[in-house]
Amino acid sequence: MMQVQLTVNGAAVTLNAAPNTLLVQALREQLALTGTHVGCDTAQCGACTVIMNGNAIKSCNVLLVQAEGAQISTIEGLAQADGTMHPMQAAFKDCHGLQCGYCTPGMVMNAVDICRKHPNPTEQQIRENLEGNICRCTGYQNIVKAVQQGAAAMKA
């Protein structure tokens, strides 16, 4: 077992885990942050996307030990303490950027990262940057609209 210290959604945590424990496993199984979904286990679908040290990453492709000292944000950390949704979460809801919802947490986390890097993202930038997040339900039209609306709200 190894001990790993990191900050998750603003809280310092110390986890004990086997060296081969994936970040997504630790988030879901040890911290009960089940909004981070496991879809493919091969870093193909993006359902497990979280923000680590300011960048969107696929947590099924990162060992927990690699996150030593890192700042991790999950979908559970986006909303305000009173339950008010993050502007991107609200945009996905308002624009119907989800159907079954399985990909949504990873999609939202990646969208937040896109908007931090591109405050006024073009449709092409959104589509290119969401390429690693697979949605089997929506056809992406409403997801792109949601990211555009979320970007505008994040600037306000």
Query: What pLDDT score was predicted for residue 39?
Result: 87
Residues 34 and 98 in one domain: no
Q: What is the spatial distance between Cα 128 and Cα 81, in angstroms, rounded to a whole number?
A: 32
Question: Considering 21, 45, 76, which residue would you say is the last residue of a domain?
Answer: 76
Strands 71-73 and 2-8 turn out to be: parallel
The answer to whether residues 101 and 57 belong to one domain is no
Of 76, 106, 130, the one marking the end of a domain is 76
Site of tokens 């879809």: 39
Tokens 């110390």 found at: 14
Three-state secondary-structure class, residue 4: strand
pLDDT of residue 70: 98
Given this model, what pLDDT does residue 29 score?
97
Cα distances (angstroms) measured from residue 128 to each of 34, 43, 50, 84, 87: 27, 17, 18, 29, 21
How confident is the prediction for the chain on average, in pLDDT? 95
Residues 147 and 98 in one domain: yes
Shared domain check, 92 and 143: yes
| 102 and 71 in a common domain | no
pTM (2 d.p.): 0.94
Split at pLDDT 50, 70, 90, the class of 11 is very high
pLDDT of residue 44 exceeding 90, the answer is no
Pair 44, 96 in one domain: no
82 in a domain, yes or no? no
Residues 63 and 102 in one domain: no
The mean per-residue pLDDT over the stretch 43-48 comes to 92
Is 34 a member of any domain? yes
pLDDT at res. 64 = 98
Q: Return phi, psi of residue 124, to 5°.
A: -65, -45
**What is the maximum alpha-carbon separation in the chain?**
46
Q: How many domains does the chain have?
A: 2
Percent of the chain with pLDDT over 90: 88
Would you say residue 40 has pLDDT above 90? no
| Domain residue limits at 20 | 2-76
Same domain, 15 and 67: yes
CATH number of the domain that residue 29 is part of: 3.10.20.30
pLDDT score of 156: 82
Residue 148 belongs to domain with CATH number: 1.10.150.120
Last residue of a domain, one of 29, 48, 76: 76
Judgement on whether residues 102 and 38 belong to the same structural domain of the protein:
no
CA distance 10 to 5: 13
Of 25, 39, 31, the closest CA to residue 105 belongs to: 39
Summarize pLDDT for 54-103 with one digit per residue, the tens.
Answer: 999 999 999 999 999 999 999 999 999 999 999 999 999 999 999 898 99
> Looking at the structure, do residues 111 and 70 belong to the same domain, yes or no?
no
Which residues are 55's β-sheet partners? 52
Can you tell me the distance from the alpha carbon of 25 to that of 2, in angstroms, rounded to the nearest whole number?
A: 15
